Amino acid sequence: MDSAPAYRPPVPLFLPALTAVLALTVLFVFGVREQQQLTGSSVERIVGQREQIAQIVAEAIEADLRAAESSVRRFAHDLSVNLEAPVEVPDAVFEQHFQALPDGSVRSRRDRFDPNTEAGVWIPRYVSLDSRLREFFVRAKTITELYGRGAHGQVFVDTWILPAVSGIVIHWPEEPEFVFQATADFDYRDTEWMTGAMPEQNPHRHVFWTKLAYDPVPKVWMLSAVAPLYWRGEWFGSVGHDVPLAKVLARTDLLRQQPGSQFVLITADDVVAASDVHADAIQASGGVLKVSELPNPLWQQAIAQARMDAPNATHTRLVLADHVAFVSRIREQNWLLVNLMPLQPITERIEHSFLNLRNIAVGTLLLELLIATGVLAWSHRLSQQYFANLNQMQQKLAVSEAHYRTLVANIPGMVYRCSNDADWTMSFVSTAAIELTGYPAEDFIGNQVRSYASVIYPADREQVDSSVQQALARKQPFVLEYRIVHRDGEIRWVLEHGRAVTVDNEVQALEGVILDISPLKQAEAKLHELNFSLEEQVNMRTTELRMAIKDLETFNYAVSHDLRAPLRHCTSYLSMIKDELAGHESADLQEWIKRCEQAVLRMNEMIGGMLALAQLGREALKPSKVDLSALVQELISELPDSVRSTISFDIGPLPVVQADHVLLRQVFHNVLDNAVKYSTGKERPVIHIHERSSESQNSEYVIEIRDNGIGFDANYSDKLFLLFHRLHRSSDFPGTGVGLALSAKILSLHGGRIWAQSELGKGASFFVALPRVAKARHKDEQKSSPATNDQ
């Protein structure tokens, strides 16, 4: 083989270096100009972001104060409404919660007081407790607890009531010792919390805010949202929430992220309420540090300029020397939140970033220059090596081709390449052709002796051609199963995998492999025979099982029906005995007869339940559209007036389902009756009926019926739905244990389901699931479902 020619570089080696130097100079000049413009825009962007943060912080503080004000307004109104009707409170109830201490005061009982869930009470010793005050403190404690627990997570930390006679009712979980720390003579009556609520000071009964003050009992700086309390038309004191200053300042953490940034919170009378840099000075002054006493004159300048330029603006940006100030007005308290930020750290950081970027760019260009020079220096040598290795690559290609032919020869099938014509004219056929067809591969090359189309079974030729052409039209590979005629006359099955070889979207040839699958076809035939035999056996066993189930349903119906006749005789005989013994003085005998009658009646109800279950399997369903909202309202309207007047029903929107109306009405009647039965003993029974979402909500509706009754132990939920099984005694709650069993079987016939969740003393929830598309089974296909029961 001739040696490769020498390689000459097409570009002089000095040209890339010169180009890089010129590019570096141009980029440096334009980079400096662009830096100046970007520095200004970057500073404005950062200042704008900090301004938005200052606005957000101020708005968050104002929103917290408004939330506290709204909450105390609702609390005062709800408290007045709840206290309106007089309620007699026995002394024993008062003493159950409160006790008189040796110092003469009355407080919550420490051994029974849970500050997380209860409101504490402190009554100083100079208060004379009469029946009216005793009623107030007992009822106010309960209402404060309910309202206080519902207000968790707010900016305020407590909920309290200050009666005009003195004392306090307070729910403050974070200060469990509050009501025990105050002295027996401590007096709130002359404080702003009480005087601001008096009719002469607050004739319109508005909510007002106290000034920032130090509460000596919990030792906390706070301000309070206060509303007057009226009881039965008369002013009786005040109610409120305390907002610790620390809670308000928690919103200011975002203001401290910028280096050098400072803030102060200024009250309406120019007192510094809080600051991140002057906290020690505020504490030393006792909370009366004035703005004029701050060492940095920029604070006074920013506040004065903001009040002069934009006295009514919510947010103002001011540029002062090398600082920028953001002044936000908190209207709820007429406070000013001033955030002072130096511009120099921002500018230095941006310029430093640009300097680093410029240094990186220069270094990168120099490195690229060195790399390019090195690459060009080595390219000549590498090119010489490339031409020298070309001959070696050709030799390796020849060896690789030999390996390829060996690999193709070892494939368990005939590998081919042919034309897309009627004879499938072969340009390459592997040596496996002789094993597959009985003819040597050379016979098929160029159709020298025979074409491959000639060995395809005549009845399959048209199908093979059609399948190949369809696959080519879709530009997809093809997989074919067909028969060929072996040289010895044997018919063999083959599997062909092939694809088109295209150039410019034109089919140039077909390539693929053809495998002998005759043994597999023989095995499939035997498997088909076995499957056919197995299906016959399954059908025979299924027929026998359906007949057995039908006989069992018939037997159950007959037994339930025939058992009623003896029970009717027992009832008649007991009635006759009772008439004969009329006037008999034996109380025990009368009690025995009564128990016999009750047992017979219960047995008759249980047999009726069995009969109803048996009849469900004898008739096909009659599905129709059922509006569950209308169905539930109809069932509630049928309840006795005494039940509807004591139980509250919360009914949400319910869907329209496809079901047997009569049977589905029985389901909701049983479940609703169950909820009514087990919640009637509650002080305020409530039954909720709502559609609930579930993981399978695209395929089924789920309706929840939830009560706040006595509930049941969840460990026995698996027995809740068994026939005649009950979780409560019949003497406590009447029932036979059939209703829910009947409901479960009805839902099973509809392709639905029922389940329950509960805890003892916390009510129970029953879930009725129905398919969105009706899929009730035919009565001959209905399978037995697990029976269910009452609680």
Report, as an integer, the average pLDDT of 309-323.
82
Residue 540 burial class via C-beta count within 10 angstroms: exposed 0-12, middle 13-18, buried 19 and up: exposed
- What is the token pair recorded at 522? 């023989």
Q: How confident is the model at residue 604 (pLDDT cuts 50, 70, 90)?
A: low
Q: How confident is the model at residue 783 (pLDDT cuts 50, 70, 90)?
A: very low
Rounded CA separation 345/156 (Å):
37
Q: What residues pair up with 626 in beta bridges, in sequence order?
A: 657
Tens of pLDDT, residues 649-682 = 999 999 999 998 888 888 898 889 888 888 877 7
- Mapping DSSP to helix (H, G, I), strand (E, B) and coil, where does residue 685 land? coil
Mean pLDDT of the chain: 81
Work out the number of other CB atoms within 10 angstroms of the CB of residue 117.
11
Instruction: Tell how far CA 667 is from the center of its chain.
Output: 31
Report, as an integer, the average pLDDT of 752-771.
88
Rounded CA separation 441/431 (Å):
6
- Mapping DSSP to helix (H, G, I), strand (E, B) and coil, where does residue 629 land? helix
Amino acid letter for position 399: V
- Mapping DSSP to helix (H, G, I), strand (E, B) and coil, where does residue 168 land? strand
pLDDT at 696 over 80: no
Tens of pLDDT, residues 164-200 = 999 999 999 988 998 998 899 999 899 999 999 999 9
Residue 203 burial class via C-beta count within 10 angstroms: exposed 0-12, middle 13-18, buried 19 and up: exposed
228-232 long-range contacts (CB < 8 A, ≥24 apart) are 228/76, 228/197, 228/198, 228/199, 228/202, 229/76, 229/79, 229/80, 229/161, 229/163, 229/197, 230/80, 230/205, 231/80, 231/83, 231/136, 232/83, 232/84, 232/86
In this prediction, residue 744 carries a pLDDT of: 83
Residue with more model confidence, 81 or 353: 81
Backbone angles phi, psi at 620, to 5 degrees: -75, 155
Find the length of the chain.
791
pLDDT at 779 over 50: no
Rounded CA separation 205/210 (Å):
15
- Mapping DSSP to helix (H, G, I), strand (E, B) and coil, where does residue 704 land? strand
Residue 742 burial class via C-beta count within 10 angstroms: exposed 0-12, middle 13-18, buried 19 and up: buried
Rounded CA separation 654/771 (Å):
14
Tens of pLDDT, residues 714-728 = 776 666 666 555 555
Amino acid letter for position 291: V
